[in-house]
């Protein structure tokens, strides 16, 4: 059974800039530490990725999988799900929700639900999820807020 976890972070940039970084999958290996490869394998007519193949290497966790993406028209929500089970995952669903703040920044809420193919005690799985989500949000924030690093 998959558990869902949610975390948020405030990024000092407008939602469209944050969305541009989230949607630039080929650049993920430049800023997301565990991502070794991110390849768009299928696109929608508007050019946004509909399926992306990831090669992940986070030390004890290494995996290769394809995620299918969908987007809110204004890009304030990006959702994904695992296309087929992988070596490490039975299922994965997630989303980024972007909310504009009055000061021009963006609150990014990351929700992730993963069902692992390998057994892991609940306590360790929750700790691993927290570490993955913390890293993902902090790395996204750093990428967006670093001048010249993002679009």
pTM, two decimal places: 0.89
pLDDT (tens digit per residue) in 64-97? 999 999 999 999 999 999 999 999 889 999 999 9
Q: How far is CA 63 from CA 48, 66, 76, 117, in A?
A: 24, 10, 28, 11
Residue 19 tokens read as 């969305």
* β partners of residue 94: 80, 112
pLDDT per position as a tens digit, 1-28: 556 889 999 999 999 999 999 999 999 9
Are 151 and 13 a contacting pair, CB within 8 Å? no
Closest residue by Cα to residue 63 from 114, 25, 26: 114
């Amino acid at each position: 059974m998959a558990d869902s976890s949610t975390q948020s972070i405030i990024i000092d940039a407008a939602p469209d800039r944050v969305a541009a970084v989230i949607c630039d999958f080929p650049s993920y290996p430049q800023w997301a530490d565990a991502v070794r490869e991110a390849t768009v394998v299928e696109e929608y007519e508007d050019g946004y990725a509909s399926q992306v193949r990831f090669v992940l290497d986070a030390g004890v966790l290494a995996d290769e999988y394809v995620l299918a993406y969908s987007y809110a028209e204004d890009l304030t929500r990006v959702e994904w799900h695992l296309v087929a089970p992988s070596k490490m995952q039975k299922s994965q669903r997630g989303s980024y929700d972007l909310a504009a703040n009055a000061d021009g920044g963006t609150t990014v809420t990351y929700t992730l639900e993963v069902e692992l193919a390998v057994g892991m005690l609940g306590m360790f799985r929750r700790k691993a999820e927290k570490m993955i989500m913390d890293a993902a949000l902090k790395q996204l924030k750093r990428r967006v807020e670093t001048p010249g690093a993002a679009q």
